[in-house]
Structure 1
Amino acid sequence: NKIDPVLEKLSAAVAHIEEVETRITEAETRISAVEDTVTRDNADLSEMKAKLDAALEKIDDLENRSRRCNIRIIGLAEGEEGTNPVSFLKTWLPNLLHIEFKNHQVKIERATPRSYTPRALILKLHNFQDKARILQASRAAGQLVYERHNISIFEDFSVAVVRKRQAFGNVKKLLRERGITFAMIYPAILRVQHDGVKLFKQPEEVAAFLDSLSKLTPTTSSGPNHPRETE
């Protein structure tokens, strides 16, 4: 029968197609299983990342708590503090800031030079009240000068907090140009005084706020009457 060879070929083709379909079904099943595994792994990774971020925040908070009584002095010429920085600074600071301490000295537990650019001295004060007085006097004094060097006094924060604060640099410049009063509060929140108090956690939020003001009022130049800021 002439048709038999054709039927045999068709039968073989059908069998091959069925085999291919079976393999495709198996492959789809395996792919689906892999996708499910990837989805679970991604969820696990997201959870682990969230836990890691939370742990890092706690560690950073602990680090900043350990720096609670620290201040950072920038601008003092290298070697100016001599071989005993604590002995030098405990009388130098009150004289520079014109503030009184018991026995005309501020209690300093330790003073550590750091090879930053610009050079910095990290001081750990005996108590937080002295730190607050020093920072307040520094802001009230404006630009401090010693031996023809500009001196700046800041709070001492962790690298993570400093970077977050530095991210506000551009928007703080724009706020100054508009004469808007602002201040950084711990850890890295910008407090803006304009038609009430506004708090911003991200520089982008401040930029959006300024954009909304630009539609209402033109930019004005401000005078040098803003309080000095922490880093």
Structure 2
Amino acid sequence: MGRQKGNSQRKAKEESPERELNELEASSLTEKEFRVFVIRMFKRMDDKYTQLNENYKELNENVTNMKRNQEAMKNDIAAIKNTMEGLKSRVEEAEDHISELEDKVGKNTQTQQQLERRLKKQEESLRELWDNTKRNNIRIIGIKEGEEEKQEIQNMLEEIMTGNFPDIGKKKTIQVQEVHRVPNKLNPKRPTPRHIIIKLTNTNDKARILKAARERQKVTYKGSPIRISTDFSTETHQARREWNEIYKVMQNKGLNPRILYPARLSFKIEGGIRSFTDKKGLREFITTKPAMQEMLKGLLSKEQSTGKAKRKRIQKVEDSVRSLGDNFKRTKIRIMGVPEEEREQDTENLFEEIMTENFPHLVKEIDLQVQEAHRTPNKRNPKRTTPRHIIIKMPRAKDKERILKAAREKQLVTYNGAPI
């Protein structure tokens, strides 16, 4: 029974090595058991030491990692601060750049406005030049194509004058300088006849005819109604047409609108007369007049001045200038090859001799009145190897065309036997 109890105690000690023995229990152990117990105790202590050492190493590594992470965080914070400083600097630079751009935009806007004013001024000057070249012209609208084949257009004008304004013809003979249809070439797809342009020698005659046409209201040719109007330039016609819709609205509202030269809208309002040269001025005027705003709603939309539109306007001005130059030269002939020494002061008679030598039949048919004759350029260049050209201005474009046609058919034109 005692042996069984001792065995159970040893078994408990072996199974529970963690439990510490008191003095009584230790004294009851045999030497062998005590040694085993001590060895086990040392082993447990060694295991705990090893565990503690590993824990210490792990803790030390964690501390090291924490320090390393702290350093990394410090570096990151420093980098973030540097980045923030850089961003702040870039923001300041961007603000300065934006400010510079705003200044440039302001200057560009001012420059664009100046260019716009200059372009508009050039357009107005060009329009005035065109209108000046047409100041003696009247435009007849509605005469059928082919009528000029039955009789000359000049005779048609006399017939119109006799049938509609007999008093003008009796008081004074209307002298015609030039007559032609526009455009020069007939478009078979055109549904209406081309207009007839008549250039008179006297501006007063033009004014009298237009006044009589306005008073008569209905002008006819061979019983068919026609219209007689001023021959404005294309630019002036376009500028006047831009008022059409506004003109109709104002006329319906009883504002008595009028289109004054060159393209100025005039109307009665509040007991007075106001006039505007463009829609911008009218748009600013009606800002304080709700009734007129409602009346002209949608008719005064602000125009967008895009780069493309501006380039188109510039191109139009250039084309118009070129066309104006051609118009000034439309009755001129250029003669090349006549020696400089040939009767420098008698160019007009020189032209008549060339015509007699080469186109004797035209001399009999054409009135060789020369309006102007000169060499070009005006000053002679001693280094120039060829003679300057001679410019002859004819009174009628039709005579010029006949001379050029005859020159093309003859092919070889001469002066004193030498080709020119």
TM-score by length of 1: 0.74
Which of residues 7, 14, 37 in structure 1 aligns to 2:104? 37
Q: Secondary structure at the match of 2:140?
A: strand
Give deviations 1:41-94, integer Å, cap 9, x for gaps.
221121111111111111111211221111110011112123874532442232
The answer on 1:126 being equivalent to 2:126 is: no
Aligned runs of 1:112-191 on 2, under 5 Å?
Answer: 112-115=180-183, 117-174=192-249, 177=252, 183-191=258-266
| Deviations, residues 20-55 of structure 1 (Å, cap 9, x unaligned) | 222222233233223322222221121111111111
Aligned to 1:10: 77
| Correspondence list, 1:1-231, <5 A | 2=67, 3-82=70-149, 85-98=152-165, 99-101=167-169, 105-115=173-183, 117-174=192-249, 177=252, 183-192=258-267, 198-201=273-276
Change (3 A) 1:87 1:146: closer
Deviates more, 1:190-199 or 1:126-135: 190-199
Q: CA deviation at 1:184?
A: 3.4
Please provide the CA RMSD for this pair: 3.4
Runs of 5+ consecutive residues of structure 1 not aligned to the other structure? 213-231
Matches of 2:252 and 2:159, distance apart in 1? 35
Moved more, 30-39 or 49-58: 30-39
The answer to whether the 8 A contact 2:134-2:231 is kept is yes
Seq. identity, %: 27
Q: Distance in 2 between matches of 1:76 and 1:193?
A: 36
- Structure with bigger gyration radius: 2
Matches of 1:10 and 1:195, distance apart in 2: 75
- The SS at the match of 1:100 is helix
Q: How many residues get paired?
A: 212
Which has the bigger relative contact order, CA under 8 A and spacing at least 6?
1
The 3-state SS of whatever aligns with 2:259 is strand
> 1 CA distance for matches of 2:107 and 2:81?
39
C-alpha displacement of 1:151: 0.6
State how far apart, in whole Å, the 1-side matches of 2:73 and 2:248 are.
85
Aligned partners of 2:144 and 2:193 also within 8 Å: no
The answer to whether the 8 Å contact 1:74/1:120 transfers is yes
Between stretches 156-165 and 110-119, larger displacement belongs to: 110-119
Q: TM-score, length-normalised on structure 2?
A: 0.44
- Runs of at least 5 residues in structure 2 that lack an aligned partner in the other structure: 1-63, 184-189, 293-420
Q: Please give the per-residue CA displacement for 1:79-136, whole angstroms capped at 9, x wherever unaligned.
A: 2123874532442232132333369742111112014745211111111111111111
| In structure 1, distance between residues paired with 2:230 and 2:270 | 28
How far residue 182 of structure 1 moved from its aligned partner, in angstroms, is 5.5
**Residue type of the alignment partner of 1:134:** I
SS of equivalent residue, structure 2 residue 168: coil
Counterpart contact for 1:191–1:199, Cα < 8 Å: yes
Q: Which residue of 2 aligns with 1:226?
A: none
Change in 2 beyond 3 A, CA 1:176/1:32: closer
Distance 1:183 1:24, change over 3 A: closer
